[in-house]
Amino acid sequence: MEIIVPGEQEIMRNMNSMKKTKLIAIAIVSVATLIAPIKAAETKEARLASKMTKKLSAIATRASGKLNVEQQLLRYTHYYNLNDEDQARIKKILTAQQKDIADFKKIYGPKIAAVDEQIKKLQDEIRELQKSKSAQLKVLEELKLDHKAELDEAITAEQKTVRLIAYLKRYDTVSFWKFLPEEIQAALDRQCQAAAMELVSTGTSESHTALRGATLKMRAAIEKSLTPEVRQEAETKQVQEYVMRSFARCELTGDQKARIGELCAKGVKDKIAISAQYNQLNKDIVALRHTMSKYKGSIHAYTIRSEVVEKILTEEQRKRLPGKYRTATKKDKKNKSNRKRSKEKSTT
């Protein structure tokens, strides 16, 4: 026999109702937990797709060079922080501008396209003419080479040598050649003749590079063979001849000529002193430039870091450093090698 306690049935009903509510809540939470990532992924994908669409639209707009009124207004607002009144005024101007441009393109667009087509055809014709011209010029160059070979055979080696000697003794090699002592002129003549014969024998007498190299060698040989006193005397005679030529009609006295000679000697002496000072300054500038290169950017820091590692840190401290800081890096060694090479060049 079942004993029924008063109010027990109501309690049981309440408990059953609470269980059902709890189960329903758990089910709702579970479903929501499963659906949330899907919805989040869909929302994220939609957001990314929208962002990419706007980005592609902006890229296409920039590529075409066309912005509608609203896009232009947004740009001006962003650049100049426009208020509502400014935006209205700018929008009115932009709208009028877009209408004028559209009207212009409607009327003149086909005409411009036709002109562009004509220009394209003319450019094609010009390219064909240029090809034809290049072919004709190539034939002309070949003809010149053929005749040049004939001319080279017609001119003897002695004639070429004489011409090259005159070339090597020209003004830009040394301007005061004829004012040098006779023994120095004779020695330089022999060097010129040897250089000219070498150019003829090697077949490089018409090569600009070879001629330039021979000229520089002759200039170096002249500089080496001249003492400062001989050079000063030759340059003084050259300047004096030039100055005296200007007063050829004045019937100068012996005293006046002597005084002009003194002025020329003083001017040449001052010029030589200033030239020497200028050359020394140039060498100093080159040396200082190489020194300054050590202090540019990170090179200076690299150099100091290497010195700290090598001269200040202990062996134990070096071991604690990362591998690339323990010794001088390749870049440090390369910079050091470059500085050493530059210093050697500046001293020579």
pLDDT tens digits along 236-277: 999 999 999 999 888 889 999 999 999 999 999 999 999 999
pLDDT over 70 (residue 39): no
- What pLDDT shows up at residue 206? 83
Q: How far apart are CA 103 and CA 273, in angstroms?
A: 76
Lowest mean pLDDT among 52-66, 81-95, 212-226: 52-66
15 vs 138, more confident: 138
**Is the separation of the CB atoms in 220 and 174 below 8 Å?**
no
pLDDT at position 322, please? Answer: 78
Q: Is the pLDDT of residue 36 over 80?
A: no
Average model confidence (pLDDT) across the chain? 79
What pLDDT shows up at residue 43? 63
pLDDT of residue 265: 93
pLDDT at 45: 64
Taking the whole predicted model, whether its pTM rises above 0.85 is answered as no
pLDDT of residue 2: 41
What span, in angstroms and rounded, lies between the C-alpha atoms of 238 and 175? 8
pLDDT of residue 281: 95
Q: Which of 47-56, 63-72, 112-121, 182-191 has the highest mean pLDDT?
A: 112-121
Confidence grade of residue 344 (pLDDT, cut at 50, 70, 90): low
Contact indicator for 161, 197 with CB cutoff of 8 Å: yes
Tokens of 256: 């006046």
Encoding tokens for residue 205? 């007498």
**Is residue 231 pLDDT above 60, yes or no?**
yes
In the chain, where the domains are located:
296-348
Instruction: Determine the residue type at 215.
Output: T
Rg (the chain; Cα; Å): 46
Under 8 Å between Cβ of 316 and 345: no
d(CA 318, CA 185): 67
Mean pLDDT of 295-314: 80
Nearest 5°: phi and psi at 271? -60, -45
Confidence category of residue 104, pLDDT binned at 50, 70, 90: very high
